[in-house]
Amino acid sequence: MQKIVSFEDLANADLIVDTLYKGGDKDNASDDPISKLLKCCNRRGFRYRGTINTFKVDYLVLYTTLTDPDWPDSLDEQTGRFVYFGDNKRPGHELHDTPGKGNIILRETFDRLHSGERHLIPPYFVFQKGGIGRDVIFRGLAVPGAEGLDSNSDLVAIWKSKNSLRFQNYKAVFTILNMEKISREWITDLQNKLRFTSNAPKTWIDWVENGHYNSLRAERSVEYRTREEQLPASTEDLAIIQDIYKHFKDDPYAFEKCAVEIVKLMDPNVFECDLTCPYRDGGRDAVGKYRIGLNSNSISVDFALEAKRYQLEYGVGVKDTCRLISRLRHRQFGILMTTSFVNKQAYKEIKEDGHPIIIMSARDIVSVLKRSGYTTRDKVKMWLNENF
């Protein structure tokens, strides 16, 4: 059961990973729980205590809903990587010319990271919107960068367009450190401009001193996803997957070509994927190759793709999954893509028996398309009309 801290207790509360902190009930800005927890500003995604102009900051808060389709912040709980987009989210401003100064914060933070001045980087606290009102969930203590990423990859200025106007924004990669609790004592130390005290988390000190990314990795205790976890959660996302389903109503087999393109969008290491002949596909709608390693010194692994254009209320069953499993040869893996979901029994058998099959459900399809820039129904429809 998730731990919940009441609004009245926020001022003295510790920060505990995945704990929900309640907002107030006055229906105004004073309901914000983050400002009560950390005595910082209570607006926008970047919140801080201190002075940005000279970057004398005690600590920073990154606030996210994790639901913005145009700027898809994401937290990979299995690796601890947190991707966060800057605050230049509409045309009309230079990259660093934002009211909240969020992109200046990112620039200064990563400049210090790249110059080896980690001791000058303030702690980052990551919060996600909770389910009701202004409630928030603490997701962890973050540091800029990640293991294996260089200075060309951890902070990138990307181009976007809106209403035919182009502009830039930052995409930043952070690591959530492996710790369960931030003590109220260390928060008080930070407010008194004392970072390196006995109350400071050891994993954070280790990162500052040695650059070690000891990330918070959380493996799923149950490997199979429920029906609800496989289907889109929002009305907009449900409409997108229904648009895809309807687009191929006159020729269901044409969805197989669409599935191939979605797989290519999912991972650029898919460098070959060809459709098989309809009605004689042997349980495989397409076969392809996946590249592992550097281009000049890589190996390829064969895979098979099976695409199922199903209505949302109908799940893929054991018969369909067994058909794909039986066609996989040694050292091959499979991809099962569906516009609906895989039912519980079939999903459990795949996972519990250790079959090398990637399941791409309706929610995954929408996620891949959004990550590739097709963030609205209109953009998805345009992509469908232009390609299929």
Question: Tell me, what's the pLDDT at 316?
Answer: 94
pLDDT tier for residue 232 given thresholds of 50, 70 and 90? very high
Q: pLDDT tens digits for 91-128?
A: 989 999 998 899 999 999 999 999 999 999 999 999 99
Question: Tell me, what's the pLDDT at 281?
Answer: 46
**Of 1 and 348, more confident:** 348
Read off the amino acid at residue 223.
Answer: E
Q: pLDDT tens digits for 321-357?
A: 998 998 888 889 999 999 999 999 999 999 888 899 9
Mean pLDDT, the chain, integer: 91
- In order of 2, 50, 65, 245, the CA distances from 58 in angstroms are 29, 6, 24, 51
Please state the pTM of the whole predicted model: 0.76
**Of 70 and 202, more confident:** 202
Q: pLDDT tens digits for 256-282?
A: 999 999 999 999 999 888 887 665 544
Phi, psi angle pair for 378, to nearest 5°: -65, -40
Percent of the chain with pLDDT over 70: 97
Question: Tell me, what's the pLDDT at 240?
Answer: 96
Name residue, tokens 């729980």: 33
Segment 381-387 mean pLDDT: 94
Q: Which of 194, 179, 109, 98 is nearest to 145 (CA)?
A: 109
When mean pLDDT is compared across 2-16, 196-210, 278-292, the lowest value belongs to: 278-292
Question: Tell me, what's the pLDDT at 131?
Answer: 79
Name the 3-class secondary structure at 369. Answer: helix
Q: Is the pLDDT assigned to residue 244 strictly greater than 50?
A: yes
Answer yes or no: are the C-beta atoms of 343 and 230 closer than 8 Å: no
When mean pLDDT is compared across 204-208, 218-222, 356-360, the lowest value belongs to: 218-222
- In order of 44, 311, 315, the CA distances from 362 in angstroms are 31, 10, 11
Question: Tell me, what's the pLDDT at 68?
Answer: 85
Domains and CATH numbers, the chain: 4-210 (2.30.280.20), 227-387 (3.40.1350.10)
How big is the chain, counted in residues? 388
Answer yes or no: are the C-beta atoms of 129 and 65 closer than 8 Å: yes
**Of 164 and 82, more confident:** 82
Segment 363-375 mean pLDDT: 91
- In order of 17, 74, 156, 246, the CA distances from 188 in angstroms are 18, 29, 33, 57
pLDDT tier for residue 284 given thresholds of 50, 70 and 90? low
Question: Tell me, what's the pLDDT at 276?
Answer: 79
Query: Cα(277)–Cα(85) distance, rounded to whole angstroms?
Result: 43
Q: Which of 203, 199, 194 is nearest to 183 (CA)?
A: 199
Q: pLDDT tens digits for 16-27?
A: 999 999 998 888
Query: Cα(239)–Cα(366) distance, rounded to whole angstroms?
Result: 10
